[in-house]
Structure 1
Amino acid sequence: IRFPVVSVQDRIARGVHLLLYVLLGGEIALGYMARWSTGHPVMAFGVPINAPFAAMPHATHVFFSRLHHWDAWLLLWVALFHAGAGFYHLLFCRDRVFQRMLP
């Protein structure tokens, strides 16, 4: 049985993709928790989604809000790194990685 060779570059690419998905999911979950911690519903496409628990202490709201804030910044920086890596492959490596990302 032959297994494909997985380079360090492949592992980094898969790790960055996984990190982007985790950060995106975390951003959504933390946003819901920040809103629900005040006891207010989340509005999704005009439909209110009520909190499954009662209002929490203000410190809990601040905690979720700060996590939501910093997760957004981390998501932005990782996405910029990801885009930069794509352009690096397009302009310097010329190895068709960028073309594989296009539809």
Structure 2
Amino acid sequence: MSEPTRAVALAALTELWAQGCPIASPDDRDRLVDIGLRRWHSFHRRHPRNRQPSQEARIRDLVRGLIEAVEPKPRLVGPLVKDYECVAEAIAAAAASPLRQP
């Protein structure tokens, strides 16, 4: 993963935290970005049959991966999933930003 992409994702999560998103905590921010970018870039390897996934499908997959990695009991997340969706969208936007290097 490129450092500019990581920096964009970290800045996005910093902004989410400032807006009140409890998932984008400074304590977990680095871990969320690392997990999120790794999950985003491994989508096609994990889903080889889905050659042209929608952005929504990739974000749902990213949300699922973040929840599984962070939450001790993923099935109990409930309404907090909306905050994970915000984090996933921010990471996805960073991964697709023009600063991204191959």
Which TM-score band (shorter chain)?
A: 0.3 to 0.5
- Indicate the structure with greater strand content: 1
TM-score, normalised to structure 1's length? 0.33
Q: Which has the higher contact order (CA 8 A, sep 6+)?
A: 2
